[in-house]
Each structure stands twice: as structure tokens, then as C-alpha cells.
Structure 1
Amino acid sequence: MPEKRIVSDRLSRRTLISTALILLVIPATIMFGIFVLDDRKYYFVSLLIILYTMLPFALVFEKRKPQARELIVIAVLSAIAVAGRAAFFMLPQFKPVVAIVIIAGVSFGAEAGFLVGAVAGFVSNFFFGQGPWTPWQMFCFGIIGFVAGILFKKGLLKKTRLALCLFGGLATFFIYGGIINIGSLMMFTSTFSWEALLATYASGFWFDMVHAIATVMFLAILSRPMLEKLERIKSKYGLIER
């Protein structure tokens, strides 16, 4: 039994490739868009991010043909995240997107979590407005789903409501808020300073707090029923294995 656990915890080749893409290639692409493309080609940068996140899935199907049902569930989760963000448009930062992304990462793996987050950020901004902030939001949503999938794979994140809520709140506040505030500073000023960054964090504190609270609330409500249904779907149709 312990030997089986060690094998199941090992990260796959596609997860390692995804890690390199997410931690190195995507941030480099965002920086390229800022400093080389003058932050004006955000559609192009956003599409590149989606392309990067799709590459690991090609590795899943390198030895067999993909089945539509294996991708439909991920597409539906992305659509739910988009619809959820649009449904709460009147409440700034009070959105269920991070909760859905975490559920996707836990259910279908780190790559799926990042893909759902990136697609949700891109598509939902057709309603909220596209701009140089879109690649940053895509990365922030996606990285939380990716981390959730990795931690669950390694046995460090459980499917309990308390564990998911705790992770969701902390990840939303520190990961999403921590990265998006850096993006905000780089979008609106050409000079970087620690004082300006500190002021950006201070001004965004309550927005990040509301966002974190919203994630905790949505996970408390949605995590158990959604995870149970997704597990039944995976068992019935034999969907993508992590």
C-alpha cells in the first residue's frame, strides 16, 4: 500500500512540462507583452497563454485519440466560472471563479485547473472589458487551480470543506492578490518602486479581502456537491487521469 501511494504521488511528465510553462514561459510572455509590445497586444498575449495551457493536454492524447467527453467537462467548468463571474457583476470582487477553478484542479488535475482559470479569465472579460489586465487575471486564476491540483496530487490538500475553504481563502488573498497588485502597478506606472508597490497593496487590501471571503463562501457551498458529482462523472466515463 505505501508503495502504491508513492507512485500515485509522483508528478507526471506533462505536469512537469506544465510547471515550466506556467512558472517560466507564461510570466516571460506577459513581460514580453509589457516591455516589447508596450502592453497593447493583450489579445495576442492572452491567446498565447491559452495555447500554452493546452499543450500539456496534447501529451495526454499522444498515444490515443481524444474523446469529446474528456474535454466537455472542462469546457463546462470554464463556462460555469464565466457565468458565475457575470452573475455577480454588481458585487465588485465577490466572484465564484477561484472556487470553481480550485474544484477543477482538485478533480481533474493541475493542468485542468490552470486551463479552466485561464479560459474563464479570458472569456469573462468579453463581458467585463478586455485590456492589459486580462493576461494577469488569466495567470492569477490559473495558477491557483494549478497549485490546488499539485497539492491535492501530493496529498497536501484534502477534499474536506475546511481544507478547501482554508486553501481558497489564503490562495485568493496572497496568490491572486499578491500577483494582481504587481500587475496593477506595472500597468499604470513606468517606474517601479517599493513604496509604490506597498501603496498598491494597501489600496487593494479590502478588495483582496472581499475576494478571499467570497472564495471561502462559495467553496463552503459548492465544493462538496460539485466534487461528488464530478467524481461520479469521472468514474462512469473514465475521464482524464491525473
Structure 2
Amino acid sequence: MSRARIALFAVILLFAGSLAFMAWATDEQYMLISFFLVCASIVPFFLRFERRTVQARELVLVAVLSAIAAVGRVPFAALPSVQPTTFVIIVSALVFGSETGFMVGAVAALVSNMFLGQGPWTPWQMFSWGMIGWTAGLLQTWGLLGSRWMLLVFGFVWGFLFGWIMNIWALAGMGQNLTWAAVAASYAASFYFDLAHALSNVFFLSVLGPGWIRILQRYKRKYGLLDNEADGILK
């Protein structure tokens, strides 16, 4: 867990440093800079997962969970911010750990955008959904998501945090013209979508969460897959 904490803090510092650099830079390539730095923030997680000894069937499981999270987003495209993707990422992290949660979130964003459209927002979505999985796994390991109410609060809060992080890539394109008024307007405009995301997370976690967690735990125990961090949740 010490290495996990170091990785998390390193990525937070790198991400914060990228924002500071974007504010300091004097050229006009703010979008390119933000794209590069958020990709750099993602790399440590992929490298950490790559260094693990993972069986082929465990990779298949990660791929299947990522596909479910990605495909679940497509039918809800007509309802902005309402989708079960975040729910699938959270329960995957609770059962299989933070690293698996990050991989499921990052890959789900990349795969789902093959249907919904790739763009400069894709790495930001990979980072945001990946961090949802990573933090869910860490907090579960620390015993902070042991109750259903705490889990619902977690899903609700991340509904807003996801939108707030995604606002950054759009604001980055404003460059030196960025003002506090523009920031306030951007976050105010996203409030409805962030609230819809937060409430949909609460709905899916409360209605489908316990059943999904039991199924995934049973599958984990039966086949001994990714047996690392997260047993005994929400009993």
C-alpha cells in the first residue's frame, strides 16, 4: 500500500503541476500542453499494472469489465451524464482493487469513445474515470467504504468531481484569456450535468451495487482472480 500511496500522490502532484504550468505558459498551445500532461499523469498507473504478475484469465476479466463499462455508456448517450459506466468502475475497484479499478475506468473511456467520438477530451476522461476506480479501491482498502451510505456518498461526490476535472480541458483552450468569471460560468453551466451524473451513480449503486458485488466476489473466490485487496465489503 505504500507504493500505491506514493503513486497516487505522485500523480496528484503531476496533475497539479500541469495546471500550474498551463497558467504560467506564454505560448498558445494550452490544449496541446494539457493533453500531453494529462497523458503523463496516466502513464504511471499503466506502468504499475504492467509490472504486476497477471494471469491471462485475469487480463480477460479486466477486458470484460472494461467492455461492460464502455458498452453501458453507449445506450445512455441520449441522456447526458446518465450512464452506468461509473457504477461498473466503482464495483470493479471494490472487489478487485484500485489498480484494476483504474484500468477498467481508463480503458472504458477509450473504448466507449470509439463509438461516441474520440477527441482531446478522451485522455481527460481516461484520467477521471481511472481515478474514480483508483480512489474507490484505496478507500475500500482503508476501510472507508464499508457501509452502503459511505459508498453512495462516494458515488455522489465523484459525479461532481468528474465534471469538474472535465471542465479543465475546455478551460485550457482559453489560454491567457481565462478569467475567474469564465471559470465560474463554466462550472455553473456544468452543474446540471454533474448533478445528473451524481444522482445516476447513487441510483445504480443503491439498486444494482449489492448484487453486482456479490457476483464479482463469488467469481473472484472461485477462480482466485486478482486476489489482492478488497474482501468482505458491504456484507
TM-score in terms of structure 1 length: 0.80
CA contact 1:78–1:117 (8 Å) conserved in 2: yes
Determine the structure 1 residue equivalent to 2:218.
232
* 1:60 alignment partner, SS class: coil
Offset at 1:228?
0.6
Is the alpha carbon distance of 1:87 and 1:50 closer, same or farther for their aligned partners in structure 2, counting shifts above 3 Å?
farther
- Within 1, Cα distance between the matches of 2:212 and 2:133? 15
- Partner amino acid, structure 1, of 2:88: I
CA contact 1:42–1:134 (8 Å) conserved in 2: no
Offset at 1:199?
0.8
Residue 52 of structure 2 is aligned to residue 60 of structure 1? yes
Determine the structure 2 residue equivalent to 1:124.
112
Deviations 1:33-71 (A, max 9, x none): x9796635999878766653321123332xxxx311222
Offset at 1:115?
1.3
Q: How many residues of Structure 1 are paired with residues of Structure 2 in the alignment?
A: 224
* Counterpart pick for 1:155 among 143, 156, 171: 143
Determine the structure 2 residue equivalent to 1:8.
none
Determine the structure 2 residue equivalent to 1:5.
none
Offset at 1:145?
1.3
Determine the structure 1 residue equivalent to 2:194.
208
Residue 131 of structure 2 is aligned to residue 139 of structure 1? no
Is the alpha carbon distance of 1:44 and 1:119 closer, same or farther for their aligned partners in structure 2, counting shifts above 3 Å?
farther
Structure 2: which 5+ runs fail to align? 230-235
- Within 2, Cα distance between the matches of 1:128 and 1:91? 13
* 2:51 alignment partner, SS class: helix
Offset at 1:12?
4.6
Is the alpha carbon distance of 1:82 and 1:29 closer, same or farther for their aligned partners in structure 2, counting shifts above 3 Å?
farther
Identical-residue share of aligned pairs (%):
41
Is the alpha carbon distance of 1:192 and 1:132 closer, same or farther for their aligned partners in structure 2, counting shifts above 3 Å?
same
Is the alpha carbon distance of 1:197 and 1:26 closer, same or farther for their aligned partners in structure 2, counting shifts above 3 Å?
closer
TM-score in terms of structure 2 length: 0.83
* Counterpart pick for 1:170 among 157, 160, 163: 157
Offset at 1:238?
1.2
Determine the structure 2 residue equivalent to 1:85.
73
